[in-house]
Amino acid sequence: MTGAEDKIELSGKCVCGAVGIHTLSASPHVGACHCNMCRQWGGGAYMSVDCGTDVSFSGEENIKVFSSSTWAERGFCQGCGTHVFYRIKETGQLMMAAGLFKEQDAFVNMDRQVFIDEKPAYYTFAEDTKNMTGAEVFAIYGPGG
């Protein structure tokens, strides 16, 4: 997470508009997850914004939550299938899909890539980022699995 002075306000919605999102505490930086599950879920790296736990939803009844591991879950709109979030169960920390938000110009850069050891060879991002392996991610955020 970034410092409190680096937080931005964001609003967005899923493709069909059934789920709305609002946060006052999003990071202005985008991250990419290259883990096998994120790539299977969306066909490529999961581009996300760390929104902490201070997120409000409208149409929350339209969010279907899937427990994807012992330590995290994924939420998506059950109407249109838009990926809404990746949430760490223990802390409630939300990594929201970056494309949801209308304020795309508010993002400063992509500053991190996680599960870099699972990234396939067929793509590479040009941005200079902090790169973490799966083991490094688990050491900071949870047990994995």
Per-residue pLDDT reduced to its tens digit, 37-85:
999 999 999 999 999 999 999 999 999 999 999 889 999 999 999 999 9
- Please check the confidence at residue 145 and state whether its pLDDT lies above 50: no
Is it the case that residue 3 has pLDDT exceeding 60? Answer: no
**Nearest of 75, 70, 27, 18 to residue 48 by alpha carbon:** 27
Q: For residues 30 and 145, which has the higher predicted lDDT (pLDDT)?
A: 30
- pLDDT (mean) for 24-49: 96
List all residues 6 or more positions away from 124 whose beta carbon is below 8 Å from its beta carbon. none
pLDDT at 4: 53
Phi and psi at 104, nearest 5°, equal -60, -30
pLDDT over 70 at 10, yes or no = yes
pLDDT, one tens digit per residue, over 95-132 is: 999 999 999 999 999 999 999 999 999 999 999 999 99
Which two tokens mark 109? 């850069």
Assigned fold of 4-141 = 2.170.150
On the question of pLDDT at 86 being above 70, the answer is yes
pLDDT band at 143 (very low <50, low <70, confident <90, very high): low
